Amino acid sequence: MPPAVPSRIRITEVGPRDGLQNERQTVPTADKIAFINALSLSGVPEIEVSSFVSARQVPQLGDASEVFAGLTRARGVVYSALVPNLKGLEGALACRVEKIAVFTAASETFNRRNINATIAESIDRFAPVLSRAKAHAIAVRAYISCAVACPYEGPIQPSAVADVAQRLLDLGVDEIDLGETIGVAAPTDIDRLYEAVSAVVEPSRTTLHLHDTRGTALACLLRAIEIGVTSFDASSGGLGGCPFAPGASGNLATEDVVYCLNRMGMETGIDLRRIIGAGEIIQRAIGRPLPGRVFRAESPNR
Ligand code: HMG
Ligand code: MG
């Protein structure tokens, strides 16, 4: 007997943020807006639009305010953004962002390189961000990068991830998002991760953010579903990477997730044709083929 599967899985489309942040050539703001507008019509419930971070650190996303101002918000879609500190929150509030994501890591070295803070300092920085966000009824996701491994420190203990999750939950975040930043995990790593993390938060209150560097992300997603996780991040066409994680490639491709889950009888609400259409817009803008396998197999313009 195959294991029972949930009927519905929630996907957050992170292509416009995690996907684009690593692109060297500046993608015109109008192309980003066209991409997000097409994603908005695909049935995806949440889109991570951009980041309110230092434009010196992540030049590609320096137009976050313009992107928010230009996009057409579809009913029922949550538009979110990354926010590292109060200055980022100010930018997000000015753009009427409905949900923010603060971000830290389970690795000190990665966190220092990414946001120039220790883990403890970053969590201290989030406290006033959380209180202001709550005062504006803005939902808060909290990413923990390097949930399985760090590009600088190697394997990360699941207990270290659980410890950071507990500190973030104590601050009052709404959602824990576990980042498999460099795409090394196999399903057994997901078992070990959730064995520790389940002690502090129900798997169903977490989101899993998988990068597909070694082609193992879909296998990890399926294992996480068996554990009780029902929320995942994915990026259109497998766009992506992290400028502070050398060698990390794109997120798990949204089309690969939608295709596989649909065939297994699970619904995401996402129309495969439309999400492929959105990917074609950004593929044209970046001027090179996107790596997503279902995207490449099913795109009429491949
Ligand atoms: P810092 O240098 O420690 O900050 O950077 P600071 O407070 O000393 O300020 C330095 C300068 O940055 C000042 O400007 C500030 O005004 C400015 P100056 O006076 O020199 O002209 N500044 C800002 N500008 C715009 N927006 C802000 C902001 N804050 C300060 N919010 C900081 C700290 C966090 C800002 C910096 O390190 C940074 O922006 N890092 C970028 C981090 C990033 O975006 N990383 C990629 C996303 S994380 C990721 O991809 C992982 C994930 O996908 C999950 C996974 O895969 O694991 C989420
Ligand atoms: Mg990422």
Domains in the chain, number = 1
Quick check: 301 pLDDT over 90?
no
Question: Is 2 a member of any domain?
Answer: no
Query: What backbone phi and psi angles, to 5 degrees, belong to 78?
Result: -90, 130
Query: What backbone phi and psi angles, to 5 degrees, belong to 252?
Result: -50, 135
Report the distance separating Cα 52 and Cα 161, nearest Å.
25
Among the bound ligands, name the one nearest to the CA of residue 48.
1
* Ligand 1 centroid, distance to 71 Cα (angstroms): 24
- Paired strand residues for 145: 105
Question: Is 5 a member of any domain?
Answer: no
Q: What percent of the chain has pLDDT over 70?
A: 96
Q: Model confidence over 238-295: pLDDT tens digits?
A: 998 666 767 667 899 999 999 999 999 999 999 999 999 999 999 999 998 999 999 9
Query: What backbone phi and psi angles, to 5 degrees, belong to 209?
Result: -115, 100
Question: Residue with the nearest Cα to atom 17 of ligand 1?
Answer: 54
Report the distance separating Cα 27 and Cα 63, nearest Å.
10
Quick check: 1 pLDDT over 90?
no
Question: Is 164 a member of any domain?
Answer: yes
Catalytic residue flag (residue 150): no
What residues contact 127, with CB distance under 8 A and at least 6 apart? 171
Report the distance separating Cα 108 and Cα 153, nearest Å.
9
Question: CATH number for the domain including 120?
Answer: 3.20.20.70
Question: Is 4 a member of any domain?
Answer: no
Q: What range does the domain containing 211 cover?
A: 10-298
Q: Tokens for 130, please give them.
A: 């959380």
6 pLDDT band, cuts 50/70/90, is confident
Question: Is 147 a member of any domain?
Answer: yes
Question: Is 3 a member of any domain?
Answer: no
Average predicted confidence (pLDDT) for the chain: 95
143 lines ligand 1 (CB under 6 A): yes
Question: Is 56 a member of any domain?
Answer: yes
Question: Is 275 a member of any domain?
Answer: yes
Q: What is the pTM of this model?
A: 0.97
